[in-house]
């Protein structure tokens, strides 16, 4: 009998995680199933407990449940505890829910693949929710010159910046406080799901800057389309999805899949 895994989100119909994990399972000879489940906005914990009651062994968690998944976990990895957000749940042998975050390592691996500027770079991160919390520690570990967090609610960005300031030069504020140019701009808001972009200045990008959207789709997101029109190189979050999925797969199965082969399968033209 195959072990069961899933991804929880709301919405979740766009997710390519089932396709990715099916490819990993085929590649590594692992017997498992993986599905997408749209959890109720007011009952994420119930969705997780129903899933494990039906034989589930682990799950990925996407927007808007990453911070709730952190609170749900009985045991947290050090990186998840620092982030205050969880994107990977593992059912322990003793029945405990173990929470981890693989978003940050997945993002940094994909940024390296995209030849993104990191060390000594000026980085702007848009958003201050669970998706952003999970990427700040590894981003700051790459030793940028500065990292600014900009959010619609300015104080939330400032609090998050203070929380991570010990890891590097980190500031926070509202979108109207974004000034100067940046080498890397990461959209961690959910605006792309609605075809919107945060209000940003037109002169945002330095020469050869990369605009990166943690969301992904068959067509460029609104943020990436705008960024391309303003002179930036662009990349969406599909590569990050593959890389963080590989790390989750390793946590569940103790086998590390080949991400290059799956990247090529998802986008053979690239």
65-81: average pLDDT: 97
Q: What is the pLDDT at residue 169? A: 95
pLDDT band at 1 (very low <50, low <70, confident <90, very high): low
**Same fold yes or no, 3-101+240-266 and 104-236:** yes
Break the chain into its structural domains and give their ranges.
3-101+240-266, 104-236
pTM: 0.93
The pLDDT tens digits of the residues spanning 196-221 come to: 999 999 999 999 999 999 998 889 99
Q: Does 66 qualify as catalytic in the annotation?
A: yes
270: pLDDT strictly greater than 60: no
Of 139, 188, 130, residue with least CA distance to 168: 139
Q: 17 labelled as ligand-binding?
A: yes
**Contact status, residue 229 vs residue 252, Cβ threshold 8 Å:** no
The pLDDT tens digits of the residues spanning 213-254 come to: 999 888 999 999 999 999 999 999 999 999 999 999 999 999
Q: What is the pLDDT at residue 269? A: 62
Q: 202 labelled as ligand-binding?
A: no
The pLDDT tens digits of the residues spanning 113-131 come to: 999 999 999 999 999 998 8
User: How high is the mean pLDDT of the chain?
Assistant: 95
179: pLDDT strictly greater than 80: yes
How many whole angstroms separate alpha carbon 177 and alpha carbon 199?
Answer: 11
Q: 130 labelled as ligand-binding?
A: yes
Q: 66, 109, 133, 263: which is the annotated catalytic residue?
A: 66
How many whole angstroms separate alpha carbon 172 and alpha carbon 149?
Answer: 5
Q: 159 labelled as ligand-binding?
A: no
144: pLDDT strictly greater than 90: yes
> Which fold would CATH assign to domain 3-101+240-266?
Rossmann fold (3.40.50)
Q: Dihedrals φ, ψ of 47, to 5°?
A: -65, -45
CATH number of the structural domain 104-236: 3.40.50.720
């Amino acid at each position: 009998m195959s072990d069961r895994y899933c991804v929880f989100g709301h919405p979740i119909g766009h997710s390519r995680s089932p396709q990715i994990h099916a490819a990993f399972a085929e590649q590594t000879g692992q017997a498992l199933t993986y599905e997408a489940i749209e959890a109720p906005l007011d009952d994420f914990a119930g969705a997780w407990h129903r899933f494990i009651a039906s034989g589930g062994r682990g799950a990925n968690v996407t927007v808007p449940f990453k911070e709730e998944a952190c609170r749900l976990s009985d045991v947290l990895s050090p990186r998840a505890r620092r982030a205050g957000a969880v994107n990977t749940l593992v059912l322990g042998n003793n029945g405990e829910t173990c929470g981890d975050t693989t978003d940050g390592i997945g993002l940094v691996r994909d940024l390296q693949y995209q030849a993104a500027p990191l060390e000594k770079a000026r980085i702007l991160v848009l958003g201050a929710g669970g998706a952003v919390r999970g990427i700040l520690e590894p981003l700051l570990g790459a030793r940028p010159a500065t990292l600014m967090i900009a959010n619609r609610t300015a104080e939330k960005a400032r609090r998050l910046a203070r929380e991570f300031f010990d890891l590097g030069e980190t500031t926070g504020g509202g979108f109207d406080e974004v000034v100067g140019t940046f080498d890397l701009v990461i959209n961690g808001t959910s605006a792309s799901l609605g075809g919107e972009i945060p209000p940003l200045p037109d002169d945002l990008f330095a020469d050869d800057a990369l605009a990166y959207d943690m969301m992904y789709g068959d067509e460029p997101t609104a943020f990436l389309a705008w960024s391309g029109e303003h002179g930036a190189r662009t990349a969406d979050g599909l590569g990050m999805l593959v890389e963080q999925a590989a790390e989750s797969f390793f946590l569940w199965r103790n086998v590390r899949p080949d991400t290059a082969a799956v990247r090529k399968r998802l986008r053979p033209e690239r």
